[in-house]
Every structure is written in structure tokens, then in C-alpha cells.
Amino acid sequence: MTPSNEQSPTHARRRPVALVTGAAAALGLAAASLAGQAQAASTLTVAKDGSGMYTTVQAAVNAASAGDTISIAKGTYQEIVNVPTTKTGLTLRGASGNAEDVVITYDRAAGYTDASGNKYGTLGSSVATFSANNLTVTGLTVQNTFDKDAHPDITDTQAVAVTAQGDRQTFRNDRFISRQDTVLNWAPSATGQYRQYFYSSFVTGDVDFVFGNATAVYDRVNIQLRDSGAAAGGQNGFLSAPNTSSAKTYGILVTGSSITSSAAANTYYLGRPWHPSADAVGQLVIRQTSLPAAVKTAGPWTDMSGYSWKNARFFEYKNTGAGAGVNSNRPQLTDSQAASYTARKYLAGTDGWNPVG
């Protein structure tokens, strides 16, 4: 689980600009008019049947300019999508508004190899990589279909659906599906400001499937713990694995959400601390969220690679449901502490960003 920072090259298009002549030019308005046209945002359409401007999402991304909207028609798009840092302010939206209608999907794992025989690694396994700031993704499903049972020869089974590695990114009414490492909240610079807001969406997986070192908020999200077949009291998996830099106050927040599962009782940990470097001290709060019986109520946190969960920054606050509880292995925020661990506090950063609600 060691993402690299490789990016896929894309090319932005240049827009044709009409000449301004006559009275407008005489009045000195030509420059203003040209600037306005150059800044105008466009909507690019994608449809598999050829009825749109493009038949693949990546082709539209390549053609888009910063601030554009890409509207994707109903269909299943089998492709890898990369939105580079240059495409600031881009919006990707499912045209129907129903995330189940528009599916971006691919089968790729960290242990797969490219044409040169090199393993993709965790970051390279991602179906969709979003690197641009001020990005909005809405009404889409992103699914990594890698099946580890069908590939016993693959030992690196990380299979990322979405890598979010930009600042001020918003994901609304989306679905993200995989098993291991479904959503990577990534800060390419560990101490840099990278904030991601997930609202009214669906995320499912079984191993460390919400993870990373960025600041991420999951607000009113349905999180599903997949059943891997373990008997009651056994081990099905782990929801999260944050590796937040110790220099950051805020890592990952799950708030006002619903965690569900058909897995047997006491088979899931809420999280474990990913500790790939000395300064990684995972930070995670789960608050006012419904927890299923699948959660290990006696102790929902566990160690990772010899690093104790007690050294991480794991807290709960006023959770409910069959998997909720309070004991010495379940650190709780006080009411006064909880006031500092809200969606707005996590996302405000240095510029007061507030996408909440």
C-alpha cells in the first residue's frame, strides 16, 4: 500500500476566439470581449452510442479546459480515467442524476503488470484518478472489478476505485465499489492541504477501503462492509487505514453516516493505522453514525504492521446501532472536543472552504 505519484499525460485543447471589430474595437472593448470568450466554460458530452461529442470519458477529459463540465450519458464505460492537475474546476456528472446509470469500471490490481512487466502498485491500480483542484464529481459509479479469488497468483490485491488527490474536491451522490483500498484520499505532499468532501454517496469494500493521508470528510454516506465469509468472531476486514501526517490536525472524518453489513457479528474492525513513515500518525473520527453488529464491539481498532492503534488518533462520538459501544478500547470525544471535529472544521483549511450542506 505505497502509492507513487506518477501521472498520465493529457493535452488541453485551445479554444478558437472570434475577432472583434468595428465599434467595439474602436471603444477599446476588444480585449475584454476576447478575455470573456476565452474564459467561457463549455459542456462536453459523452455517450457510448456516439450521440455525444465523445465516446469515452478520458477523451472528453483530454479535450476539456479548466472549468468545463463533462456530462456522461447512461452506460458502462470500461476504461481508466485520469484528471490531471491542469483541469482545475472540472465537473464530471452523470447525465441522468442516478449514479447507478453511469458506471466507469475496470479490472486492475496492484499486482498486475504493465507492458514493460512492472507492477502497477496501489496508485496505479486506480480506475479513476482525480488530481485537479476544485473538482466536482456527481451522479457516477466508479468500480474496480478485480476478483482476488479468481487470481490466486496475484499477491498484491489492492484494487483502488478512486484516487482523490486534489484540494477542494467534492463528490456528491456517487458510488465507489471495490474490495481492498476502494477510495484513496491522497496528499501527494504529506503535509500539504488536500481536502475532499464526500456527501450522500455509497462506498463499499472489505480491506482498508477508506484510506490515505489527505483530509477527507464522509458526510451522510452509506458505507457497506462486504461479507468475506468469516464466522462470527472471526475477521472479515477493516474499514479504514489512515496515515495522516503528525503535522496535520485533521485526517478522515465519518459523520452522520450509516455503516451497514450482512457479515457475521464481531468480524470487522473500524480501522487500523497505516504507518509507512515515522511521521504518519493516522487520524480518524467516526461520529453520530450507525454501526452494524459486524463491528467488533469489544475493540474496533487494531494494530497494523507492528504499529499500535493506541499511538494513532482514533475516536468515536455518539455512535448508535448494534455495533456501537463505550469501553476502554473505544476512545470517545467529549462534547467540548467534538465541537472541534466537525465537517466544517476539517474542511475549512486556510481559506475557509465550506462545501458542507
Which residues are marked as active site?
Answer: 181, 208
Question: Which grid coordinates are listed for 94?
Answer: 452523470
**Phi, psi dihedral angles at 89 (to 5 degrees):** 75, 15
- The residue type at 202: F
Question: Which grid coordinates are listed for 329?
Answer: 478500547
Asked whether the beta carbons of 111 and 119 are under 8 A apart, the reply is yes
Residue indicated by cell numbers 455495533: 323
Asked whether the beta carbons of 304 and 320 are under 8 A apart, the reply is no
CA 105/CA 80 separation, integer angstroms: 8
Instruction: State the Cα torsion 128-229-147-156 to the nearest 10°.
Output: 80
CA 14/CA 136 separation, integer angstroms: 22
Q: For residue 230, what is the DSSP state?
A: P
SS3 helix, strand, coil % of the chain, rounded to 5? 10, 30, 55
The count of other CB atoms within 10 Å of the CB of residue 103 is: 19
**Phi, psi dihedral angles at 65 (to 5 degrees):** -105, 160
